[in-house]
Amino acid sequence: MNEPISAGLKAYVEENQETLVKLLDTLCRIPSPSNHEERRAQFIKDWFEKEGCKGAYIDSALNVIYPFHCEEQKNLVAFTAHTDTVFPDTEPFDVVYDGDIMRCPGVGDNTANVAILMLLASYFTKSGMIPKQGILFVADSGEEGLGNLKGVRQLMKDYEGKIAELVAIDGSYDSIVNEAVGSLRYRVGVHTDAGH
C-alpha cells in the first residue's frame, strides 16, 4: 500500500472508531441466521446507498454486493465477510457492554468483520480512489453450517472468470491463511432395532 493511501486509511480508522461501534451494535441486533439473512442484507444495502456506494444490490442468494470500479474489468478482487450467524434466533439479540468488550451472539463471527467491510467500502468510495483492479465488496450469505457456502458459490457463478483474487474476512484470529481452504460434509445414519 503506498504511503498516502496508508496514511489516509489509518486516519479514517482512528476517526471512525465510534461509528464502527455504533454500526456493529446495530448489525448485532438484526437477526441473521443462515438462509434467513434478509433483514441484515436490506440494512447493509440501504447503508451502502446512504454512504454513496452506488450500484450496491442484493442477489438471489442474499449477498449484498457493491461493485467498485468493476466496469469492463476482468481481474476483480473480491473482499467478503459473511452476514449469517450460527444462531437460529429470528428475534433481536441484546448487546451487552463489559468495559471495552461487546458481547452478543455472532459479534465476532462474523458481524464485526461485516461492519469493517462496510466502512472500508465507504472509505474507498468517499476518497475518490480509483483502484488498479475493480473491487467487489461482498457481505455474503450462507457461510455457516447448512448455509453450505451458498453466498460465495453464487458470487463465483455470477462473476465466473472475472474474479482473480478473493479475500474472506472471517473470525477474530490474528493470522492470515493464504491458500484455499475447504469444507467437509458428513452424513451420519443410525440404524437400530425398533422398540423402546
**Per residue in 145-180, pLDDT tens?**
888 899 999 999 999 999 999 999 997 767 778 777
DSSP string for 82-110: E--BS----SPPP-EEETTEEE-TTIIII
pTM, two decimal places: 0.89
pLDDT at 196: 59
Half-sphere exposure of 46 (CA within 13 A, CB side): 8
- 192 phi/psi in degrees, rounded to 5: -150, 170
What is the rounded distance in angstroms from the CA atom of residue 8 to the CA atom of residue 186?
47
Domains of the chain: 3-168 (3.40.630.10)
What is the rounded distance in angstroms from the CA atom of residue 27 to the CA atom of residue 21?
10
